A and B are shown apart, each in its own frame.
Chain A
Amino acid sequence: MKFNAWLSVGSLAFVLASSGQAFADRIILNVSYDPTRELYHEYNRAFIHHWQEKTGEKISIRQSHGGSGKQARAVIDGVPADVATLSLAYDIDAISQQSGLIAAEWQKRLPGNSAPYTSTIVLLVRKGNPKEISDWDDLVKPGVAVMTPNPKTSGGARWNYLAAWGFALKKYDGDETKALEFLTRLYRNVPILDSGARGSAINFIQRGIGDVLVSWENEAFLALKEYGPDKFEIIIPSISILAEPPVTVIDKNADRHGTRDIAQAYLEYLYSREGQEIAAHNFYRPIDPDIAKKYAHQFPEIHLFTVNKIFGSWQEVQNTHFSDGGLFDTIYLQQESEF
């Protein structure tokens, strides 16, 4: 009897709680990295409209931006995000492994390794290209100041580093010692190691520091759009890396908030025609072949390689290159002893 009473109280509370939820707008929180501000600003509006048309429900989307690693750490530490749209798979893997909030096989859940758009790394120089930079080779020449952030803290910087490494491997026929030497010379030309990609971009664009900015393709286009092609030029290197910024539902958070249906649809809609068009407007390379063809004039053709092809996996990349005592550390320790 007593048990039954408790049961009914419990179910009443449950009904109240769930009906209470139906009254308020449901909200999802998207935790993203730095350069996607403009992209998700546009996309969120489109998705809210789409969801209301499809289901009649009015929802809101909260959006957060920051360095990819920092955002991942925030989720691990308890930020109640429903979806993560980060710069590298490694950061989402970290959330999955450290907190268990995301299923381990998350990357297989959406097409294209869960990356609805891709990007690459290009070089941004000042108008007229005064230092005559045409490829990665030119970044190691004496007297060229290269702007790139710290790969330990910035996702974008890791892509920069790996792109240069891939070039060096090709140039020296896979000789890793020579590649490391190349990277050492390159980082000797870096006057400031900012903690994030936006920091480097601001130093280059607004403060006029450095001769060349190693940059996300979309950030480089954005700089041209905002500051005018009379200030900067984009240099396409002979070879670069295919960056696949992945997206995922943060399973346990979405289930707890009762927002899995929205979160799931939110990410799937990125793959729709409209989502792909928005990505292309914001200078991300769409993965839908039709839309990609439509915007082909916008994106120069570059010989691209993937992380998996050259480095195996992100875990391996992290262990060999960026972990403490890894190759990136030796670059600076060597430099010190040579001075």
Chain B
Amino acid sequence: MSTFKQHSVLPGFNLALGFTLLYLSLIVLIPLSAAFIHTAKLSWPEFWNTVTAPRVIASYRLTFGASLAAATVNAFFGLLVAWVLVRYPFPGKRLVDALIDLPFALPTSVAGITLTAIYTGNGWIGQYLEPMGIRIAFTPAGVFVALTFIGLPFVVRTVQPVLEEIEQELEEAAAMLGATRWQTFRHIIFPAVLPALATGFALAFARAIGEYGSVIFIAGNIPMISEITPLLIITKLEQYDYAGATAIATVMLVISFTLLLFINLLQWQARRHNTKV
């Protein structure tokens, strides 16, 4: 309590905190609590039956599995893209840099329709994959492709500024002390970008879990196979089952929040570890 009384050098702490809390409540907390209140209309067994029905379980598996896979792939390739954009000059770099943000700006349904058109059996890419027995559109693989598409900028845009800040002198020093290129990357660069990479991963992952628009066109939406959890929520709403829909939403909310909290904790620890060294 006494820490609150101490006046900081910066003015306006109380006012700023007040606004922060009000803003967070209006924008985030009140809508979210509405989900919990709607769910509360269900009895405990009803709630449990709704959120553990086989179709729902299958959809969690797809949503969280595909999101995790997509975020992992994005973490790897996003780091690569950011590295190339920061370290190497090449013609058209500005253009490539601007392209990265496209998945941010594009309406997700447009992304979904475009991806579907490309990957169906008679699409640009699909027509070559189909003879090889690879089907992307209307399968879980399509979900993964769409989630990878929308997640990429999150990793690139969080890692990029950190890479720009790294002092090249450190790498030079490492080289002079006899480190191999791999050792320089492993011990100098990677630890420095790891927290940013984790944030990018978490953002891409969180975004993928909630994604609806782009996935719905490419998924096929077959129960037990290619239905994502947000679709089940919509399905419940269309059947006027508000409580059931919010029950599933609540489960997603809790799982997502736990995962994000966990990732944030990891990140916090990594940062503390870094500063100690």
**A residues neighboring B (CB under 8 Å):** 67, 69-70, 72-73, 76, 94, 98, 150, 152-153, 190-195, 207-209, 322-325, 329, 332-333, 335-336
Contacts and interface: CB of A to CB of B under 8 A. Distances in A.
Contact of B224 (A150, A153, A333): A333
Contacts of A209: 120-121, 138
Contact of A336 (B50, B54, B221, B239): B54
Contacts of A76: 240
A322 B263 CA distance: 40
Nearest to B123: A207
A192 to B, nearest CB: 5
A153 B235 contact: yes
Given A150-B235, A209-B120, A324-B53, A94 B240 contact: yes
Interface string B198-230: 000000000000000000100011111000000
A207 B55 contact: no
Contacts of A335: 224
A195 B138 contact: no
Contacts of A332: 55, 222-224
A73 B237 contact: yes
B38 to A, nearest CB: 13
Contacts of A192: 138, 220-222
B238 to A, nearest CB: 4
Interface centre among A67, A190, A207, A208 (most CB of B within 10 A): A207
Given A150-B235, A323-B239, A324-B241, A336 B224 contact: yes
A98 B240 CA distance: 9
B122 interface: yes
A335 B236 CA distance: 22
Contacts of A70: 238
B240 to A, nearest CB: 5
Contacts of A72: 240
Interface string B19-54: 000000000000000000000000000000010011
Question: For A76, A94, A98, A324, which residue has the most chain B Cβ atoms within 10 angstroms?
Answer: A324
15 contacts: A72-B240, A73-B238, A73-B240, A76-B240, A150-B235, A152-B238, A153-B235, A190-B222, A191-B138, A192-B220, A195-B216, A207-B120, A324-B244, A332-B222, A332-B224
B239 A152 contact: yes
A323 B53 CA distance: 13
A334 B240 CA distance: 26
B55 A193 contact: no
B194 interface: no
Interface in B158-200: none
Most A Cβ at <10 Å: residue of B54, B222, B236: B222
Contacts of A329: 55, 223
Contacts of B216: 195
A69 B238 contact: yes
Interface string B228-258: 0001001111111100100000000000000
B270 interface: no
B94 to A, nearest CB: 35
Interface in B39-96: 50, 53-55, 58
Contact of A193 (B50, B222, B239): B222
B239 A333 contact: no
A191 B235 CA distance: 18
B46 to A, nearest CB: 11
B138 A153 contact: no
B220 A191 contact: yes
Contact of A153 (B120, B222, B238): B238
A146 to B, nearest CB: 13
B129 interface: no
